[in-house]
Amino acid sequence: MLVERLAAAGHAVSVAHQPGGRWPMPMAAALRFERRLFRRREPGLASPIAAIAEVSSPATPTLRLDLSGVAGSSPVPTLRLAFDGNYSDAAAVIALAEGRLPKIEAVLDNGRIVGRALPMVDKRESTALGADDVLARAMTLALALTARFDKEGGWGGDGGWGGEAGEGVGALPRQGAAPGGLRFASAYAGRALPRLGREALRRVRFRHAHWRVGYRFVDGPGIAETGGIGDGWLRVPDKGDHFYADPFPFEWQGRHFIFVEDYPHATKKAVISVVEFDADGAPLPPKPVLEEPFHLSYPQALAWNGGVWMLPEGSASGKLTLYRAADFPHRWVAETVLLEGEISDATLLEQGGRWWLFATVRDGFGSTSDTLAVFWAPSPVGPWTPHAKNPILIDRRMARPGGAFVQVGGRLLLPVQDGTRGYGGGLGLSELLELDLEKVRLSAPRAIREEGDWPYPQIHTLNRAGRLEVIDGIAAVRKRSGR
């Protein structure tokens, strides 16, 4: 896939095979077993490396990508990918079997690190599917760095592109020998298989995911100011057959509303619903206001140009569509398609005379939660232009927005989803340090403290409109429990 995509991007690509570096037989067998179990085709094993034809070029290459990790020295600048400090990608698979999430570093032949990635793994119970997620982002990293090298004639010294915020360029730790089959077999039998079994039992008894929305009216500091969930939370009621998530509050003509992702477990396709509050401040039952043939979520609402607008996620459609309220809050019409592609949790910001859009994008395959892209436009309706530095970063801790930007003193904070413990595992706050047409820089996220009276502390959305603050949290709900 990498060879094909490099060629599609306009690069002249030559290919040479390097003997050695095969995965241990137990690893290949285990991954083949899991793909059959999950009914996934085998992207790597179905197309052996030997099936890729060697292609020579009469011209001297300007860049060499050593995907074997064992190629000899060359006068051509060489880029290698290291997985937890090891040039063998088998190290990433062993890390996943052991229950760890690997880090990828892009390393020059002099040991200088020019890029980092922290891939998200969506299905932690599966070593095979986790390996696909990690290798997908290894490809994203290699493609982006190749494009930057081609455009800029090198990688400059911007420090740790695509990875851990705040880290500078450094030297790669000494890597060990390529991991062997015995270590993998021990990790797989002792950790990965029991983990797979526990998840299978959990899914028999419990809903795969069930989110609940909390709200409170506060006059003083909220979560963004205090850094903790705190007390005073009430729950938007649900009967157990729907879950509600991704809450966005909105204040309009003196009234409060919460727009939510409304997911019926029976249909497995969410709509957007609105929770209205009565004169006493009590929430009315959620009422559907927007439905499409595809799944909808993350309904950011905003007032602009005399009207009310909504930008929900509809990534399954392959488009990001802006809607306008024809009869607020109950009827919405599609106004325009802003962007094409699988775009998740798009979050708008007006700053510096422009509109900005922060979102995660899915680069081919792999997770939807680890690759941040930024776009800019003169107005919310566009036209939208990709930022020159896209992808901004590949980082499971902070790439995916978890709510609208919030101003705290002189700082602009973005709630960001932390996927370290899995999807919905937590939320942090990152400060927007720089934003212009040449640079986007966010601080490392500060985790939101979970203490307080909200019973579902693993939140993944935070928003506030006036006095109304909202969060969500994942609950363990038994199937057919009615609770």
Cis-peptide, bond into residue 391, ω within 30° of zero? yes
Q: Using an 8 Å Cβ cutoff, are 461 and 408 in contact? A: no
In this structure, what token pair is assigned to residue 343?
């775009």
β 331-340/343-351 pair status: unpaired
**Rg over CA atoms, the chain:** 24
Q: What is the pTM assigned to this prediction?
A: 0.93
Q: Per residue of the chain (483 residues), what is the pLDDT tens digit?
A: 899 999 999 999 999 988 766 788 999 999 999 999 998 876 554 566 777 888 888 788 999 999 988 888 889 999 999 999 999 999 999 999 999 999 999 999 888 999 999 999 999 999 999 999 999 999 999 999 999 998 888 776 544 444 333 344 455 544 545 567 899 999 999 999 999 999 888 888 888 789 999 999 999 999 999 999 999 999 999 888 899 999 999 999 999 999 999 999 999 999 999 999 998 889 999 999 999 999 999 999 999 999 999 999 999 999 999 999 999 999 999 999 999 999 999 999 999 999 999 999 999 899 999 999 999 999 999 999 999 999 999 999 999 999 999 999 999 999 999 999 989 889 999 999 999 999 999 999 999 999 999 999 889 999 999 999 999 999 888 876 444
In this structure, what token pair is assigned to residue 82?
């290291």
b/e per residue, 264-303, with b = 16+ CB within 10 A?
ebeeeebbbbbbbbeeeeebeebeebbebeebbbbbbbbe
In this structure, what token pair is assigned to residue 451?
């203490």
Domains of the chain: 2-203 (no CATH), 208-474 (2.115.10.20)
In this structure, what token pair is assigned to residue 456?
């579902």
The three-class DSSP label of residue 212 is strand
For residue 272, give the nearest of 239, 251, 235, 301 by alpha carbon. 301
Which strand (E) or helix (H) includes residue 192? none
What is the rounded distance in angstroms from the CA atom of residue 472 to the CA atom of residue 362?
24
β 104-108/113-117 pair status: antiparallel
Give the pLDDT score at 302: 96
